[in-house]
Amino acid sequence: MSYEVFARKYRPQTFDDLVGQPHVSRTLKNAVAQNRLAHAYLFVGPRGTGKTSTARILSKALNCIHGPTVTPCGICDNCREIAAGNSLDVLEIDGASNNGVEQVRELRDNVRYAPAKSRFKIYIIDEVHMLTSAAFNALLKTLEEPPPHVKFIFATTEPQKVLPTILSRCQRFDLHRIASNLIAQHLQFIAEKEKITLAPAAAHAIARGAEGGMRDAESMLDQLVAFCGEKVTEEDVLNVFGFTSEQVVADFVGRILRGETPGALGLLHEQCDAGKDMMKLMSDTIAYLRDLLVFKVKPDALADDISNEIRQSFASQASLIETNRVLELIDQFAATEGRMKWAPNKKLHFEVAVIKAIQTLTQATLDDVIENLSALRDGNPIETGPTVKQSARTEDKTAKETVQPGLADSIEDDAKKSADTDRIRLNPEKIWDEVISRIPKHKGFLHNLAASAHFVGIEGRNFVLGFPPDQKSLIETVGTTNNRKFLESLMAKVTGKQLSAKFITKEGLPLKSPKPQIENSANRKCAEAPPIVREALDMFKGEIKETR
């Protein structure tokens, strides 16, 4: 007898055999038991989660000689033929290769004929989203009112490509990605049946690599048995598929969170030299940060997906970083992952992402700035106790001798710039003075207007600037769309955050008479010009010149 791969040999044969889809199996079992059967079903989900297997199980439940029953016998002719895929009354159609209107018209013509020997004639159309619009439209009327002896079962990985008119005529079941722990348990079950010694860590590594697909996990185990024989270890899994150990990923992320730039880069280089897939390591890093984020919000939400060792790592690392910082890291690494897909030197992009991530953790966030500004305004002291950020700066400074000289100088310069920026951010007056100083000379009129404004406060993301009531007319000029956008772009460069400029009038503000940046008759003429002229001058960087 020819060899049968694990994915086919251990395909689920009953509703109870389905792994990780209790909502689907329970609903279908109740429908069969209560004889509340729909005429069309749609199974949606990622690859390898059991869509076609569920369709076959439902077909056996309906056509078993003891049925309809929730526990098909599996030994009668109907059950055996359906399991083997050669039943005359259960027709499996590949939607990718039979997607034309002519094939659907032929199916529609055959629907009227009674089943050969079963209770129902069942059409299983896999990858139904591949049907053309004309084919879908040809199927509509038959799908809505089929003969009583006909059932349709559709399966797809992309439901958004199925016409809404088809979706509305089906009962939809969404099959989820299977939890890693459930996949690992099923792999241990297969190993026991096949008399294979499968290390728990190896089973979990396979489950992580399968990314929620049982069929992928079974195929990977099949390949490992061919490579290793009767004993499979975690090291075998990592070597064959180029994966990185989950504990190594935890250590890697921990070094990033603690600001250990040399240690994080060293570990990255070790994995690269060992032949590990950089894209897979990046994906694992993002997934680990995602799990850390979920753990911080709800620690018990990952009970079925992580091992006890990783749970302990999460518990120790959760206090090192705030939730919003985790979100920033995920965004940064996700952007890098997109660039790495097309980059020939993936390691280079990964290194830059790690250094940038560590530097980001040392910078003050907008929430920190607003909190400190509020504290200064209220006369409260700012807390400046020892933090992970400070220790990270110390780590970077003391690591010069172990990092390449050029890299160490870059880290030190960036740390100094970050510290300087933080000092500016903590003083709103300095922020506005810095913005004014960056207004170019050809915008002398805008410079004079901005210098006449007073900082009033922070309202959310609004940087509020005030004028005395007597200068209310200035708001209409300085607050034009072009002027406002220009000032906000300067504030973004100074603070590193996107702030909005808000201009108001307020009683009690003194009149400012700043020294003009450009004080001549041309500047005065610019001030006297209509607003549309001033906007044109700003837009095209023009100026009024005197002629003699």
Coil, strand or helix at 36: coil
For domain 430-539, the CATH superfamily is DnaA, N-terminal domain (3.30.300.180)
At 394 the pLDDT is: 41
Higher-confidence residue: 284 or 99? 284
Q: Kindly write down the DSSP assignment for every residue of 459-518, as one continuous string.
A: ETTEEEEEE-GGGHHHHHHHTSHHHHHHHHHHHHHHHSS--EEEEEE-TTPPPP-PPPSS
pLDDT value at position 1?
56
Q: According to the model, what pLDDT value does residue 526 have?
A: 52
- Is residue 69 within 8 A of residue 61, CB to CB? The reply is yes
Give me the pLDDT at residue 173, please. 95
Whether residue 339 contacts residue 349, with contact meaning beta carbons closer than 8 Å, is answered with: yes
Residue 397, pLDDT > 50, answer no
In this structure, of 96-100, 143-147, 267-271, 373-377, the range with the lowest mean pLDDT score is 373-377
Residue with the larger pLDDT of the pair 23 and 362: 23
Q: Is the pLDDT of residue 101 over 90?
A: no
Does the structure show a pLDDT above 90 at 440?
A: no
CATH number of 180-241: 1.10.8.60
First CA to last CA distance, the chain: 105
Report the CATH number of the 6-174 domain.
3.40.50.300
pLDDT over 50 at 416, yes or no: no
Is it true that 6-174 and 430-539 share their CATH fold?
A: no
Alpha helices by DSSP H, listed for 117-196, are 133-144, 164-167, 180-193
Q: DSSP assignment, residue 174?
A: E
Residue ranges covered by each domain of the chain:
6-174, 180-241, 367-425, 430-539
**Lowest mean pLDDT segment, chosen from 33-42, 151-160, 510-519:** 510-519
Return the pLDDT at 253.
93
For residue 68, cis peptide bond before it (omega within 30 degrees of 0): yes
pLDDT band of residue 81 (cuts 50, 70, 90) is very high
pLDDT at position 406: 46
pLDDT of 20 over the 80 cut: yes
Q: Looking at the predicted structure, is the pLDDT value of residue 412 above 50? A: no
Contacts for 333 with CB less than 8 Å, ≥ 6 apart: 282, 285, 286, 289, 353, 357
Contacts of 367 (CB under 8 A, 6+ apart): 324
β-strand partners of 155: 43, 126
Q: pLDDT tens digits, residue range 297-327? A: 888 777 767 777 888 888 888 888 888 889 9
The whole-number pLDDT of residue 546 equals 55
Query: By percentage, how much of the chain surpasses pLDDT 70?
Result: 81
